[in-house]
Structure 1
Amino acid sequence: MKTQIEAIKGVIFDLDGTLVSSELNFSLIKAQVGCPAEQDLLDYIEQLPSPYMREEAMNIVHQHELLDAQSAKLLPGVLEAVKALQAKNIPMAIVTRNFDKAATLKLQHNPLPIEMVLTRTEAPAKPDPSALLMIARQWSMPVDNVIYVGDYLYDIQAAHNANMRACLYAPDVTPGYAEQADFVIYAFDELVSLIDNYAEKVRVC
């Protein structure tokens, strides 16, 4: 866990369950592709023995993701927080395990002033840190100044794998792995306050 007090100058968000709602039923998807409940779905598909099997399994996942994209809605406080960060000239990006078409649909239906979006189509899926590091390089920003905000363990792991600070968004139930995050927020206005507070700490120091 990172303890430095560098200012937070860039924010990367997860998409599903963080910026927009998601009704993806992973238990059902895993059952349909034959993935054991305890195994990561994308890892399981990648390890299937033939290209045909991998393609068929991924087609099932794509169908679920595209259906989910039709009903996704912005979560409470997201638009206000993003606009507040935009007003502070904080660069923002999105890194999601969705595939590109589903992510595009979700953001078309729920527009946000965030142009940079990386999906598993463009970079290895979280908890691999590649997408986060690509964005930091694009911004020419040290990883110490970037925070990744997400709602799941993979988001925390991806942030720490990239040597970034991890902020867990837990609006309903605080999971056991929350203690692994550097910060936990329960509403999006807390994110804006967090970034303001770190700017103040840096100025004071």
Structure 2
Amino acid sequence: MDLTNIKGVIFDLDGTLVESRLNFTRMRDDVGCPQDQDILEFVEAITCATTKQQAQERILQHELEDADTAKWLPLGREMVENILQHQLPMAIVTRNCRQATTIKLQNNQVPISLVLTREDAPPKPDPTALLQIASQWQLPPAHCLYVGDFIYDRMAAENAGMRWWLV
């Protein structure tokens, strides 16, 4: 990993640091979301409070089931160990909920304490969470690297003016 001019590294969680077996087709079916639509945007747009809460609970159940079995990805562990050796600050930005994220981090002893979930900032591809971390680190976004595995990760990094690396 080329860290030239990089002063801090932000990781996605699922599919980047830890494995994920979330079945988004089934999740969308469970909440009535069209398969070609972002599930979080769909649920956010639900106007009936009861229906929205039920959809959020269904998503949470899927995430918690996935959290119990998530294990380090070998490349994810290698990247974190590499960044630790370079003594750069690290963070995680995930579209996951805080509860499932906490389980995954604790079960795998991921040594990253700065974590923003969808409860902390608008979900990716919105760049808000990435920019919040750069600001907290007092770094220009151009000196931060965002590492992820999905198009939303690339879009969020580009929207934030950060370099990105696709795994």
Q: Under TM normalisation by the shorter chain, which class is it?
A: over 0.9
The answer to whether the 8 A contact 2:17-2:75 is kept is no
Q: How many Å separate the matches in 2 of 1:158 and 1:121?
A: 17
TM-score by length of 2: 0.95
2:115 matched residue in structure 1 = 117
2:156 matched residue in structure 1 = 158
- How does 1:39-78 map onto structure 2 within 5 Å? 39-78=37-76
Q: How many Å separate the matches in 2 of 1:6 and 1:82?
A: 16
Letter of the structure 1 residue corresponding to residue 123 of structure 2: A
Q: CA deviation at 1:6?
A: 6.4
Letter of the structure 1 residue corresponding to residue 101 of structure 2: A
Which shifted more, 78-87 or 29-38? 78-87
- How does 1:175-194 map onto structure 2 within 5 Å? none
Indicate the percent of aligned positions where both proteins have the same amino acid. 52
TM-score by length of 1: 0.78
Q: How many Å separate the matches in 2 of 1:6 and 1:144?
A: 11
Aligned residues: 165
Q: How many Å separate the matches in 2 of 1:7 and 1:120?
A: 29
Structure 1 unmatched runs, 5+: 170-205
User: Once superposed, what is the RMSD of the aligned Cα atoms?
Assistant: 1.2
Moved over 6 A (4+): none
Q: CA deviation at 1:72?
A: 0.1
2:35 matched residue in structure 1 = 37
Letter of the structure 2 residue corresponding to residue 167 of structure 1: W
The answer to whether the 8 A contact 2:148-2:166 is kept is yes
1:144 matched residue in structure 2 = 142
